[in-house]
Chain A
């Protein structure tokens, strides 16, 4: 229990630091850090390498540069490099989600974590955000996480509420009904 509390405190601390950087730098830095962290976290072998203490920090930094420098700002690359160098490679997912939550909270919004097998286009994100805002009664900031394990449809998590619209879930419900 104490260990979990300490972990949450670590995650919260790093997320707050990332939010501070994003606030200073402005723009889409918070989104970039979120997307970069989620993207890296999606590759388990890459995370194993970044979390391996036997691999020099320079080597890890080189990997991150190779992967992100063409797609994100130097601030985002530096922030991710900092998290990895601090030994938080295995917590990138948690820190990214906490960052999104804090950023949305700072703007008076709530975060909707949307997992889908493919990236959503801008129109779908806008419509989904509107639908979720209508459903929850709050302004919702959609964060899309591409997850190939989600088969057909979308799984949305707003706070503790999960709205599972995947085909997989439909089959699960059918199994429960027939079981």
Chain B
């Protein structure tokens, strides 16, 4: 690049010299061209400036450009990393959302299953209890019926015995009393 610049400067100088020679030989163009001393001084000044530019300014500029390029590259890389990270996070988020949805669906399914089991259990127990109550009711009715029948039988028996006792007592005269005493003695005599 620097070599090209020098080549251009030399060509320009040769062109100026050629032009100057042509002016010198041609006449009118010399009016436009600077004097040779002035041209030389300009060339030297240009060379000096060029040297400073080439020595310090261009490297500094190159360094600045390189630093900027590096910064840009770093930022780009950081952006890429951030993008990748964001995409990863997004993927994670999506995975989590999908997982959460799945988990929520599982929870709902489990809750529904549990609810169904509880419902079934409650219904089963209620049916068993109802059957027990019904059976106990039947048993209670049967027991009550038996108790009433037993009470009735006992009352009838007591009543019958009361009547029989009164009839017997009224029918016992002195002769019967003596016969009963004799029978008692006879039975007692049979006891060994």
Contact = CB atoms under 8 A, between A and B. Distances in A.
Interface of A: 116-118, 120, 124, 127-128, 130-132, 134-135, 151-154, 156, 163, 165, 167-168, 171, 174-175, 178-179
Contact of A118 (B158, B165, B174, B188): B174
B188 A117 contact: no
B181 interface: yes
Contacts of A135: 188, 191-192
B154 interface: yes
A179 B189 contact: no
3 smallest CB-CB distances across A and B, nearest first, come from: A165-B184, A131-B189, A178-B157
Given A116-B181, A124-B185, A131-B189, A152 B154 contact: no
B157 A128 contact: no
29 contacts: A118-B174, A118-B177, A120-B181, A124-B178, A124-B181, A124-B185, A127-B185, A131-B185, A131-B188, A131-B191, A134-B191, A134-B192, A135-B191, A135-B192, A151-B169, A151-B172, A152-B172, A152-B177, A156-B188, A165-B184, A165-B187, A167-B169, A167-B180, A168-B165, A171-B164, A178-B154, A178-B157, A178-B161, A179-B154
B172 A163 contact: no
B25 interface: no
Interface of B: 153-154, 157-158, 161, 164-165, 168-169, 172, 174, 176-178, 180-185, 187-189, 191-192
A178 B188 CA distance: 26
Contact of A175 (B158, B174, B176, B181): B158
Given A167-B169, A178-B157, A153 B184 contact: yes
A127 B189 contact: yes
Contacts of B184: 153-154, 165
Contacts of A156: 188
A175 B189 contact: no
A137 to B, nearest CB: 10
B164 to A, nearest CB: 7
Nearest to B176: A152
Contacts of A151: 169, 172
A153 B188 CA distance: 12
Residue among B158, B165, B184 having the largest count of chain A Cβ atoms under 10 Å: B184
Nearest to A175: B161
A154 B158 contact: no
A163 B154 CA distance: 27
A131 B187 CA distance: 9
Contacts of B165: 167-168, 171
Contacts of B176: 152
Contacts of A165: 180, 184, 187-188
B189 A152 contact: no
Nearest to A167: B168
Contacts of B158: 175, 178
A36 to B, nearest CB: 23
Contacts of B183: 153
Nearest to A134: B189
Contacts of B189: 127, 130-131, 134
B172 A167 contact: yes
